[in-house]
Amino acid sequence: MELDFDALAQRHRRELQLHCYRMLGSLEESEDAVQETFLRAWRRRETYQGRSTVRAWLYRIATNACLDALARRPRKPQGGEVAWLQPYPDELLEGIAEAGAEPDAAVVEKETIELAFMVAIQHLPPKPRAALILRDVLGWSAKETAALLETSVAAVNSALQRARAGLKEHLPERRVDWSADATAAERRLVERYVEANDRGDAHALVALMREDATFSMPPEPGVYVGREAIVRCWIDGGLGTEEFGDIRSLVTFANRQPAVACYARKPGEDRHRAFALDVLRIEDGAITDITTFDGHIVPAFGLPPEF
């Protein structure tokens, strides 16, 4: 069977990249993995015999590419922290449900892409992680999953059971309460966060957070707990001072959560430059978690590195 690789890349790239992102937890590594997937597929194109769908064949290659990458760079979260975690632009999630013509085409639900889920599955060993993603996220059967992982149905079921237990252990009790169809109150909360951030208004920022809110900055170690401790950390870092610069923020979306790209114009400079991307978790009308990533990731969200 002759395969049109340009058509394959166009049709399946986004859902395969999302699969690799779930496996690896890194946007940049998922881009590399999907490139490796298509390279391997091209080299092995003569081996495709049509016994499975092209999509299933590509998922097998992508999963193995990810497992190989994880074997080359074994790593474990330290406590609840995933140092290699990166955010995933919502723009890359658009159209994935339509990308596959097969009945089991991937559907992107917010609970399977939010940062809390991504952190939790990174605690799982690679093969149980793959089994959980294939079975519970993509909806593959145990037989299909066993064939892809080249193991038995019994082994898949055992791995899935372990993975589900591990996932439950590491997921927060409360889940993300945000979507693109968020309420007007939630959208206003993000607007108020932007306004307070741009003013460097510590008191206003405190008021927007739940008392036990958390803050982290992968890959930096440490998690700040409590809204007062979070804002104190920001003040110690220069928030609101002339030296920190004039702040401007732009709203975007990452992992089906609201995100705020932060730019600073230092004294003597004529442009605002991206220095951070804050991904927010909102529950019951308050910000409950802020995960801040380095500003180099901002262009991946279709935003300028400076303006």
DSSP character string of 19-38:
HHHHHH--HHHHHHHHHHHH
The pLDDT of residue 134 is: 95
- Mean pLDDT computed over every residue of the chain: 88
The pTM score is 0.88
5-170: CATH number: 1.20.140.160
Per-residue pLDDT, averaged over 88-115, amounts to 70
Q: At what angle do helices 54-72 and 27-43 cross, to 10 degrees?
A: 120
Residue 176 pLDDT grade (very low, low, confident, very high; cuts 50, 70, 90): very low
The pLDDT of residue 87 is: 97
As given in the structure block, the two tokens for residue 295 are 């500003």
Per-residue pLDDT, averaged over 99-104, amounts to 45
Per-residue pLDDT, averaged over 169-176, amounts to 69
Residue 249 has pLDDT above 60, yes or no: yes
The pLDDT of residue 130 is: 96
More confident residue, 10 or 249: 249
Residue 32 has pLDDT above 90, yes or no: yes
The pLDDT of residue 45 is: 73
Are 277 and 222 in contact, with CB atoms under 8 Å apart?
Answer: no
DSSP label at 89?
B
Are 259 and 302 in contact, with CB atoms under 8 Å apart?
Answer: no
The pLDDT of residue 274 is: 97
Which residues of the chain are in CATH 1.20.140.160 domains? 5-170
Strand residues in 76-190 grouped as ranges (E): none
93 Cβ contact partners less than 8 Å away, ≥ 6 residues apart: 14, 18, 108, 113, 256
For a pLDDT cut of 90, what percent of the chain falls above it?
Answer: 67
Is CATH 3.10.450.50 what the domain over 184-301 is classified as, yes or no? Answer: yes
The pLDDT of residue 103 is: 43
Strand residues in the chain grouped as ranges (E): 209-217, 220-225, 246-254, 257-265, 273-283, 286-294
Which residues of the chain are in CATH 3.10.450.50 domains? 184-301
As given in the structure block, the two tokens for residue 156 are 């898949």
As given in the structure block, the two tokens for residue 51 are 């016994």
At 45-73, the pLDDT tens digits run 777 766 677 888 899 999 999 999 999 98
